[in-house]
């Protein structure tokens, strides 16, 4: 997959299938657009291009809050997901006020035609702030608007997934995503309390602007050095030790190596329990043994 910046020089000579959207998380609803794109691309023997934005369009319209920078996927993971969904050209453009004020006709002229599309695919709720829902088929290309994808609880959306992640309902988030929610972090030195308890942990610094699951203990898989390991992870404040700083700590089963400085990917599989303040170390160790068994028994 080729990643490009949209600018005045960008223009495709080959005919393409063009997919429009922001795609935070690239969840099951989004994936339906790419399933359709791949079907059409196979019939017409064309490549697939995506026109999207590096940040949420809401940053252009609403009063800024730091949480608005948080995403369901890191930039690297998002690119991986596009590639996995058959995208050949991933094209980014900053979402500016000037861009948002375009009419659908202006958007078609200034953006869509640059991709030389035979087919343009969007979701039913696609908009860039003006009247993008009025994007119409022309004699040069056909516009396909994909319907809402829903489950028994309603529309599958990034909003629902963010809420599930923030509430710790990782099983629900993963069901809506169609894959395991993940966080990437750098292993740094912590207080080494886990080692004293018989459960050495990798303390992670999260450098990406992604939503963290709610405080609690989780079954997880950990990927590093190309291998996948089962473990459990805690997100919290080390209440038993009167901690005040929020930490992400991962214990990897049957592993004793030193991995400081390594980059780990944590795949969040299911929540085990909320955080508890224990009266003593013995109670904490007993609970951790129970947590370990639950995590080992979990079938992903």
145 and 187 both lie in a single domain: no
Q: Is residue 109 part of a domain?
A: yes
Q: How far apart are CA 201 and CA 265, in angstroms?
A: 14
Phi, psi at residue 4, to the nearest 5°? -130, 160
Task: Specify if 127 maps to a domain.
Answer: yes
150 with 192, same domain?
no
CA–CA distances in Å: residue 1 to residues 4, 29, 86, 284: 10, 22, 8, 48
Total domains in the chain come to: 2
My answer on whether 66 and 194 are in the same domain is no
pLDDT in tens, the chain (300 residues): 999 999 989 999 999 999 999 999 999 999 999 999 999 999 999 999 999 999 998 888 888 888 889 999 999 999 999 999 999 999 999 999 988 888 888 999 999 999 999 999 999 888 765 555 668 899 999 999 999 999 999 999 999 999 999 999 999 999 999 999 999 999 998 765 656 566 888 999 998 999 999 999 999 999 988 899 999 999 988 655 455 467 899 999 999 888 899 999 999 999 999 988 877 788 888 889 999 999 999 997
In a domain, 160, yes or no: no
CATH number of residue 249's parent domain: 2.40.30.30
Quick check: is 163 in a domain? no
CB 178 within 8 Å of CB 27: yes
Give catalytic residue positions: 249
Neighbours of 67 (CB within 10 A): 10
Q: Would you list the DSSP string of 66-105?
A: GGGG-BSS-HHHHHHHHHHTT-SEEEE----HHHHT--HH
DSSP per-residue codes, 107-138 = HHHHTGGGG-EEEEEEETT--SSSSGGG----
What is the model's pLDDT at position 258?
85
pLDDT digits (tens, 9 = 90+) for 260-283: 999 999 999 999 999 888 777 888
- 75 in a structural domain: yes
Question: What is the CATH classification number for the domain harbouring 109?
Answer: 3.40.50.620
Domain end, chosen from 86, 121, 155, is at 155
Task: Report pLDDT for 241.
Answer: 46
Q: Do 23 and 136 share a domain, yes or no?
A: yes
Query: What's the confidence (pLDDT) of residue 200?
Result: 82
Q: Which of 155, 188, 211 is the last residue of a domain?
A: 155
Round to whole Å and give the CA distance between 79 and 1: 9
Domain that holds residue 263: 179-297
* Inside any domain, residue 169: no
173 domain-assigned:
no
Q: What pLDDT is attached to residue 245?
A: 66
User: Do 144 and 203 sit in the same domain of this protein?
Assistant: no
pLDDT at 129: 55
């Amino acid at each position: 997959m080729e990643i490009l910046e949209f600018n005045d020089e960008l223009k495709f000579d080959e005919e393409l299938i063009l997919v429009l959207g922001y795609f935070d998380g690239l969840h099951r609803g989004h994936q339906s657009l790419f399933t359709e794109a791949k079907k059409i691309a196979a019939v017409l023997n064309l490549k697939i291009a995506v026109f999207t934005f590096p940040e949420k369009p809401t940053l252009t319209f609403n009063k800024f809050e730091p949480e608005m920078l948080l995403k369901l996927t890191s930039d690297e993971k998002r690119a991986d997901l596009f590639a996995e969904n058959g995208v050949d050209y991933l094209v980014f453009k900053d979402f500016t006020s000037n861009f948002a004020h375009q009419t659908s006709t202006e958007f078609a002229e200034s953006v869509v035609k640059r991709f030389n599309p035979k087919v343009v695919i969007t979701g039913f709720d696609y908009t860039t702030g003006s009247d993008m829902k009025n994007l119409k088929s022309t004699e040069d290309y056909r516009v396909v608007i994909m319907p809402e994808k829903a489950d028994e609880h309603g529309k599958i959306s990034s909003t629902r997934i963010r809420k599930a992640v923030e509430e710790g309902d990782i099983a629900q988030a993963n069901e809506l995503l169609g894959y395991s929610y993940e966080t990437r972090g750098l292993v740094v030195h912590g207080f080494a309390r886990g080692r004293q308890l018989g459960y050495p942990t990798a303390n992670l610094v999260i450098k990406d602007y992604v939503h963290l699951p709610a405080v609690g203990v989780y079954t997880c898989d950990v990927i590093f050095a190309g291998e996948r390991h089962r473990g459990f992870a805690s997100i919290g404040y080390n209440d038993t030790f009167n901690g005040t700083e929020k930490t992400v700590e991962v214990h990897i089963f049957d592993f004793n190596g030193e991995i400081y400085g390594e980059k780990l990917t944590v795949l969040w599989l299911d929540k085990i329990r909320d955080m508890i303040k224990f009266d003593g170390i013995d109670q904490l160790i007993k609970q951790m043994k129970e947590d370990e068994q639950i995590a080992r028994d979990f079938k992903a």
